[in-house]
Amino acid sequence: MSFSNDVRQEICSSVNDKDRRFACLYGMLLFCRSLTREHICFQSESRISAELFCSLFSAVFRRELSITEHTRKNGVVLCSCDADGEDAEAVFQKYHLADDARLIDSEIIATNSLGVFTAGVFLACGSVNDPNKEYHLEFACPEEQLAQQLATLLGDIGVTAKTVLRRGQHIVYIKGSESIEDTLTFIGASQCTLELMNTKIYKDIRNKANRIANCDAANIDKVVKAAMKQIEDIKLIDRTVGLETLSDELREVAQLRAENIDMSLQEIGETLSEPISRSGVNHRFKKLAKIADEIRGGGGANAK
């Protein structure tokens, strides 16, 4: 089951009193596929949404509707609920719908019903991506004015929603986990909100662990390359002028490095007969590197 279906399932279970049924059905009707005085058609790929539409229609209008199924070429089953004639006319009278345009009538929805109305809108035309993949919630609205009104309504609850025309549909979309969390909570899907938050926490921890691992790997690689360069310098000095020509301090560091490629500078400093700091060890290796460079340049070596 998809995350969108999880949201629909939770919404459907929360529509459980007269006012909520009336408001939810209003959202489903206003944003359904077809809405005229002669014919109303609610369509959804979700069987549970279609069943709720029929249930709400029966509760509000005392009229029974049936669900018909149509399988698309891609194998997806589309559920349709149709209301014709007197049933459609009853809807227009009950919700004071206009013939020329679909508009949200704020007077029909009490303040405490805005959330469940928006839940009905989601059931009619909404979808939300799996948070494991990306944070994206959208409503495919049937008309431009409805899209603008919905974006304004979401803005009133502090959610930034944008609109775009995609393949002839007016899309209201929301990006960002926090905005989607607020929207899901607003429409009554609080458990799905918690699931999204848990997913975000897991992703953040995983990404942080990956960054740390990558950083550690890069640091290890850097240390190994530095150690190999130091050993290369030490072997060159030993092969040409001999380590015995070095000062006691440089010779001790050189021998420790040659025998311990995996030792850090700090560990080398702590192992010396007279322990020194990491920066002190690094300074001695710079002296060895300078001697090696002089040998490569044919200028001899100063082993002090």
User: Could you tell me if residue 242 is inside a domain?
Assistant: yes
Are residues 74 and 193 part of one domain? yes
Count of CB atoms situated within 10 Å of the CB of 125: 27
CATH number of domain containing 116: 3.10.28.10
Q: Do 189 and 247 share a domain, yes or no? A: no
Cβ-contact 113, 19 below 8 angstroms: yes
Residue 227 and residue 155 share a domain: no
Q: Do 22 and 153 fall into the same domain?
A: yes
Within a domain: 210: no
12 and 106 housed in the same domain: yes
> Do 58 and 150 belong to one domain?
yes
- Please tell me whether the overall predicted TM-score, pTM, comes out greater than 0.95 for this model: no
- Return the structure tokens found at 25: 């059905």
SS3 track for 33-53: CEECCCEEEEEECCHHHHHHH
Domain C-terminal end among 198, 227, 247: 198
Residue pair 151/162 in contact (Cβ under 8 Å)? The answer is yes
Helical (H) or strand (E) element with 169: strand 169-175
In a domain, 151, yes or no: yes
Domain limits at 246? 216-296
Angle at CA of residue 84, ends 82 and 57, nearest 5°: 55
If one counts the domains in the chain, the total is 2
DSSP letter assigned to residue 274:
S
Same domain membership, residue 220 and residue 138: no
Examine the fold and report which residue of 198, 228, 254 is the final residue of a domain before the chain moves on. Answer: 198
- Residue 301 belongs to a domain: no
**Can you give the pLDDT of all 304 residues of the chain as single tens digits?**
689 999 999 999 888 888 899 999 999 999 999 999 999 999 999 999 999 999 999 999 999 999 999 988 888 899 999 999 999 999 999 999 988 889 998 888 866 689 999 999 999 999 999 998 889 999 999 999 999 999 999 999 899 999 999 988 899 999 989 999 999 999 999 999 999 999 888 888 888 888 888 887 888 788 888 888 999 999 999 899 888 999 999 999 999 888 888 788 888 999 999 999 999 999 999 999 999 999 888 765 555 4
Q: Is residue 21 part of a domain?
A: yes
Cα 92 from Cα 186, distance rounded (Å): 27
